[in-house]
Amino acid sequence: MPKARKRKTPITSTDTSDASSSKPQASRTLIRQFHVLLKQQAQLQQSLGLPSGAASSISRPSNTTVPASSSNQSSASVVGSSSSASISFKSKASGSAKPETTSQAARKLELAEVEHEIERLGGLAAYQRMSSIGQGMDRGGGSEKVFISWLRELGVHEHCKNACIRHRLLEVGALKPDNYASCSSWLEVTPMDLRSRHPAIMEQDFLKMNENEHRGKWDLISLSLVVNFVPQPKDRGQMLQLARSMLSEKGYLFLALPLPCVTNSRYLTFEHLNSLMTTIGFAELKSKWKEGGKMAYWLYGKDEPLPINGRFHKKQELRSGNRNNFCILL
């Protein structure tokens, strides 16, 4: 009998974004690395006056290497000896070269290093693929299952069917276009992401949506693992305020955050978050989390806002110790 020939693996593999081929721990590690790097990228772009998501035109010096574990190090460790680098940049206004401070040159080189590391890890496509795998049904599905169950408990689906209507749902940060396919009879879903990976997902920055155009337009808004991804605390608060403005009078907001954002933050607790959301104009209807878990979920109804009176404008340390710095400001 002839010896069986081993099937060759094609050089260009097909997209396996929906297949759970990676181990959960590997997926979580890669996602955490991307979170750190993309946050650093956004902060550096803001400090340099660059638009969010803009690609840096800075090249790394040939003698500079990127440490394999740079995503777990402080920002300064990625830069290396940037003060000695000689880099020329064009002025946006006049097109002529302008002298730069050592600090500006260091930040620009640091941005180039961060972007290089993002590409080394596979770019944004790799991050989205890992996140999509994490939402696979063999791993418990996505947070939409919690949202759907709460809406059913409130009788939203029955109301829609009896009135022969569908509620308009804006799903911010959607990685898959069909998360709510099972609810198509009572939900009209618009999936959206900052960088779409599917033709059916609208590519849009939520913070740049026209507030007047969308005021009161949406019955439901989902912010699942979105707010924690926004780099600046005040932009996180703005996102929540914008969501309230865009909801209809009896609209619902679904919020999902990594549990440590609340349980292990210096600046945020469950009580503080509840007070902040009440001030914005949300009434907490449901919440779900467990000790030692990874996620926390909330369902809010639109309510009347309260006077801010200077509250939530500055960071206030609520707990000390070895904690993270997650914070939401207004």
Residue with tokens 């009434």: 283
What is the DSSP-derived secondary structure letter of residue 132? H
Burial of 163 (0-12, 13-18, 19+ CB in 10 A): exposed
Locate 198 and state its tokens: 């599917």
Instruction: Please name which of 214, 159, 215, 222 lies closest in space to residue 193, comparing C-alpha atoms.
Output: 222
Q: Are 186 and 161 in contact (CB under 8 A)?
A: yes
Flag whether 122 is marked binding: no
Flag whether 193 is marked binding: yes
Residue with tokens 């780099």: 231
Q: What is the DSSP string of 241-303?
A: HHHHHHEEEEEEEEEEEETHHHHSBSS--HHHHHHHHHHHTEEEEEEE--TT-SEEEEEEEE-
Binding site, residues?
173, 193
Binding site for S-adenosyl-L-methionine, residues?
173, 193
